[in-house]
Amino acid sequence: MALVPCQVLRAAILLSYCSILCNYKAIDMPAHQTYGGSWKFLTFIDLVIQAVFFGICVLTDLSSLLTKGNDSQEQERQLKKLIALRDWVMAVLAFPVGVFVVTMFWSIYIYDRELVYPKLLDNFIPAWLNHGMHTTVLPFVLIEMRTTHHQYPSRSCGLAAVCTFAVGYILWVCWIHHVTGVWVYPLLEHLSQGVKIIFFAAVTVIINIFYLVGEVLNNYIWDTQK
């Protein structure tokens, strides 16, 4: 795909995430007023991650255009740092967290929506916004992977970073329950203490698997193994 269409596509995706975030924050939901606000939901955190990631992509594209034909070694070094940051965010956060949110949300939703997205929320969140938060994330990140080759970090460093994020969010969820006495997700209310530990461990394993899937998919698309 040509450079300019890719730039336009990334800019459009960035604008769509900004629109989704603005519309979501404008919703007057009781959950937004409780401890942790929107930041207790992985969906919102993922939206911020995706918006930041595509913001970095757009900034990288602009920097690439501005430095094209420029012999400044300093600008070239800065561009390489920006590209490295873009690739790291894609590998460790944007892809695994984005795919995890989409697959886990719709899997639980199909089984019993009340466990993850109670019907009451339909009164606050329109269908298009729900899909913007839980559906379009996947095609957007796949489009980015298909249009741009991303350099993955070493597997050990990548998995360590993903585990750090997963454990950090799990501890955040547990802390919110400790403070408020209420679990962020209704699903957790139905699990015993032992099952919760198994569930959290499984969640960590799954998000690490998605990191590996992203690495393999990136290599397959761009044939880096050869």
Domain boundaries defined on the chain: 6-224
Helix 137-147 / helix 193-222 crossing angle, nearest 10 deg: 30
**Span 147-189, pLDDT tens digits:** 999 999 999 999 999 999 999 999 999 999 999 999 999 889 9
- Asked if 220 and 96 count as a contact pair (C-beta separation under 8 A), the reply is no
Distance CA 145, CA 221 (A): 8
At residue 29 the predicted structure's pLDDT band, cuts being 50, 70 and 90, is confident
Q: pTM to 2 decimals?
A: 0.92
* Residue scoring higher pLDDT (117 or 206): 206
Distance CA 91, CA 151 (A): 8
Tokens of 212: 């590996």
Quickly count helices (H) and strands (E) in the chain: 10, 0
- What pLDDT, on the 0 to 100 scale, is given for residue 1? 42
Tell me if residue 41 falls in helix, strand or coil: coil
Q: Which of these ranges, 13-27, 46-60, 112-126, 127-141, has the smallest mean pLDDT?
A: 112-126
122-150 CB burial, b ≥16 within 10 A, e <16: eeebeeeebebbbebbbebbbebbebbeb
Helix 42-67 / helix 137-147 crossing angle, nearest 10 deg: 30
- Asked if 179 and 133 count as a contact pair (C-beta separation under 8 A), the reply is no
Exposure on the CB side of residue 99, measured as CA atoms within 13 A: 21
**Span 91-146, pLDDT tens digits:** 999 999 999 999 999 999 999 988 888 888 888 889 999 999 999 999 999 999 99
